[in-house]
Structures are given as structure tokens and as C-alpha cells.
């Protein structure tokens, strides 16, 4: 099975660029996430953290 995939991937022109694009997307996403975590207001983070425990927003079923 792996030989089939490897041989098939070698026939695609420019296939070496796909891992680089994936790495770039991964790096950019986590860099932005890291930046957001350190710049987000502490009050907002605390509010979001307590949201699942808030009994006032539950619907009466």
C-alpha cells in the first residue's frame, strides 16, 4: 500500500512544495494563536472560562 502511494506521489509535479505549505500554515496558525493568548484581556479569558459553569444562561426545558 505504501509503495503505491509513494510511486503515485512521485508522479505529481511539484509535490515537494506541499509539505512546505503545510509547515507554513501550521507555523502561522500557532504563531497567531500564541500572540492572541498573550494579548487577550484577562477579563475576557476569565469570562469564557466561567461560561460553562454559569447557571443564569441555561434554558428552561
The per-residue pLDDT for range 7-16, each reduced to its tens digit, is 777 788 888 8
CB 9 within 8 A of CB 15: yes
| Tens digits of residue pLDDT in 16-42 | 888 899 999 999 999 999 999 899 889
| Tens digits of residue pLDDT in 36-60 | 989 988 998 888 888 877 776 555 4
pLDDT for 61: 46
3-state secondary structure of 58: coil
Q: Where are the domains of the chain?
A: 1-50
Whole-angstrom Cα distance, residue 2 to residue 8?
10
Amino acid at each position: 500500500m505504501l509503495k503505491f502511494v509513494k510511486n503515485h506521489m512521485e508522479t505529481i509535479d511539484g509535490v515537494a512544495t506541499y509539505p512546505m505549505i503545510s509547515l507554513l500554515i501550521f507555523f502561522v496558525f500557532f504563531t497567531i494563536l500564541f500572540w492572541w493568548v498573550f494579548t487577550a484581556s484577562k477579563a475576557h479569558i476569565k469570562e469564557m472560562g466561567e461560561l460553562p459553569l454559569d447557571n443564569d444562561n441555561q434554558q428552561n426545558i
